[in-house]
């Protein structure tokens, strides 16, 4: 180390191990769920107060991620592992909602977001009776600019 000019450390393991863990999620006005060790399976009723919000969150993570619970980029792997701990079967949701001719806009640095269009079942159409839903993830300042509504603690 006598000849080193810079020493970088990574105490979380995100860089050295390519591992990340969701430790907190905000799912409505008064709901914060903490599970920092990543080992406990969360009770489904703790996941969200509203069934509607819980289902939206499960759809969003399941269908707007790329990869599997064993092979994915670090951020997406952390998201998938979180919903698995919450008892969500992401593979089932992908089969249910992602059409064969899927519309997906992959994340890129110019857009700063990723979007996936889901096809809803007849009994799940939106409040506007529309058979599709789009889930978007990315930079919060970009996503918030496009929002006209939000979900509160009651969904």
For residue range 88-145, what is the model confidence (pLDDT) as tens digits? 899 999 999 998 898 999 988 899 999 999 999 888 877 778 888 899 999 989 998 9
Task: Enter the pTM of the model.
Answer: 0.75
Identify the pLDDT of residue 122.
82
Identify the pLDDT of residue 61.
92
Question: Could you state, in order of their start, the residue ranges of all structural domains in the chain?
Answer: 24-146
Round to whole Å and give the CA distance between 25 and 46.
Answer: 11
For residue range 73-86, what is the model confidence (pLDDT) as tens digits? 888 888 898 888 87
CATH of 24-146, one of 3.40.1110.10, 3.90.105.10, 3.40.50.1220, 3.40.50.80: 3.40.1110.10
**Residue-wise burial string across 21-45, b where 16 or more C-beta atoms lie within 10 A, e elsewhere:** bbeebebbeebebebeeeeeebeee
For residue range 15-41, what is the model confidence (pLDDT) as tens digits? 566 677 776 666 664 445 555 555 555
Catalytic residue ranges:
10
């Amino acid at each position: 180390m006598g000849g080193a000019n810079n020493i970088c450390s990574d105490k979380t393991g995100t860089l050295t191990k390519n591992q990340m863990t969701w430790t907190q999620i905000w799912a409505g006005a008064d709901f914060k769920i903490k599970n920092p060790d990543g080992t406990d399976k969360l009770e489904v009723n703790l996941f969200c107060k509203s069934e509607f919000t819980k289902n939206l969150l499960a759809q969003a993570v399941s269908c707007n991620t790329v990869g599997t619970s064993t092979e994915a980029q670090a951020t997406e792997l952390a998201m998938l592992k979180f919903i698995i701990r919450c008892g969500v079967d992401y593979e089932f949701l992908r089969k249910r909602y992602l059409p064969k001719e899927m519309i997906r806009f992959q994340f890129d640095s110019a857009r700063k977001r990723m979007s996936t269009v889901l096809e809803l079942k007849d009994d799940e159409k939106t409040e506007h009776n529309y058979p599709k839903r789009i889930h978007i993830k990315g930079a919060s300042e970009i996503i918030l600019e496009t929002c006209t509504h939000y979900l509160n603690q009651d969904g």
